[in-house]
Amino acid sequence: MENASRPFVHINCASSLDGRIALPGGRRIVLSSPWDKRRVHLLRQRYGAVLVGVGTVLSDDPKLHVNPHHTGGSTRPLTRVILDSSLRTPPGARLFSYPGEVLIYCAPEAEGAEEELRRAGARLTEVPRGEGGVDLKAVLEDLRRRGVEALLVEGGSRVISSFLKEHLFDLLTIFVSPVVIGSQEAPSLCILPSPTEPAELHLEGAEIVEGGVLLTLRP
Ligand SMILES: NC(=O)c1ccc[n+]([C@@H]2O[C@H](COP(=O)([O-])OP(=O)(O)OC[C@H]3O[C@@H](n4cnc5c(N)ncnc54)[C@H](OP(=O)(O)O)[C@@H]3O)[C@@H](O)[C@H]2O)c1
């Protein structure tokens, strides 16, 4: 553990050659190769906790589980964390059908489907508002108090941007697929505050793998 007040934070995503992580309008595209999917499921299995923004839940309806097909038969319940200021997570989202707790962090006095979400099995926690939604430091400190030691942040664009902007990560891996999406309307890997504030990262590795290139970066 590198930081006792928050979990180890590993951001992971799959990107096109032009830095896009979805199609125009946020429509989902599979950028990961089978090799990369397996890597992601093994990471989920190892860390035991995964975080996404409500934007990803609404656009992709991800299962957010550990698929034993990718982990040689073993699986474990996964803690799913959703950043969702106004409780827009649909109580019928697919992730509720898979094992593991669902922790939703919302803003104080959020007026969403509170009761339905609790009935679906979510645990709701109010945290102060922060830039971009809820306060990330408060979320991470609460997760640490709940015993989460390592967290896989899987997106999407706004959530990754917030973690990068606030320097709240320890490791970033990007699977780059040899695909050009070629549209400014497609969500990008990260939206930084302005072009005059570039975020420089330390490139630790670049590996040609099945179906693409895996970049490993540190803050
Ligand atoms: N290729 C990949 O690896 C990958 C992985 C995941 C997703 N995606 C794609 O990413 C796209 C979704 O990205 P997105 O930017 O629309 O949604 P997102 O990053 O998943 O969620 C963003 C939303 O989360 C909430 N939020 C709460 N606190 C936040 C904070 N501190 N910082 C940022 N957001 C916070 C905000 O909504 P409220 O204000 O309502 O709280 C915000 O609008 C989809 O197209 C999906 O397919 C790609």
Q: What is the CATH number of the domain that holds 17?
A: 3.40.430.10
Residue 3's pLDDT is what?
Answer: 62
Q: Count, in order, helices (H) and strands (E) of the chain.
A: 5, 11
SS3 label, residue 148: coil
Question: What is the C-alpha separation between 171 and 160, in angstroms, rounded?
Answer: 12
Residues of the chain with pLDDT under 70: 1-3, 195-196
pLDDT of the residue at 109: 85
The pLDDT tens digits of the residues spanning 4-35 come to: 899 999 999 999 999 999 999 999 999 999 99
Report the residue among 6, 21, 162 best suited for mutation to probe ligand 1: largest number of ligand atoms under 8 A from its CB: 21
In a domain, residue 1? The reply is: no
Reply yes or no: is the peptide bond before residue 48 cis, omega within 30 of 0.
no
> SS3 of 119, please?
helix
**154 belongs to a structural domain:** yes
Count of domains forming the chain: 1
Query: Which amino acid residue places its CA nearest to atom 16 of ligand 1?
Result: 55
- Provide the residue range defining the domain that includes 69: 8-218
Say what the pTM is: 0.96
Tokens standing for 48? 């035991």
Ligand 1 atom nearest residue 157's Cα:
15
Instruction: Give residues (CB < 6 A) around ligand 1.
Output: 13-14, 21-22, 26, 28, 31, 52-56, 59-60, 83-86, 88, 130, 132-134, 136, 154-159, 162, 187
The reply to whether 124 falls in a domain is: yes
Look at residue 1 in the predicted model and tell me its pLDDT.
47
Is residue 2 assigned to a domain? no
Q: Is residue 3 part of a domain?
A: no
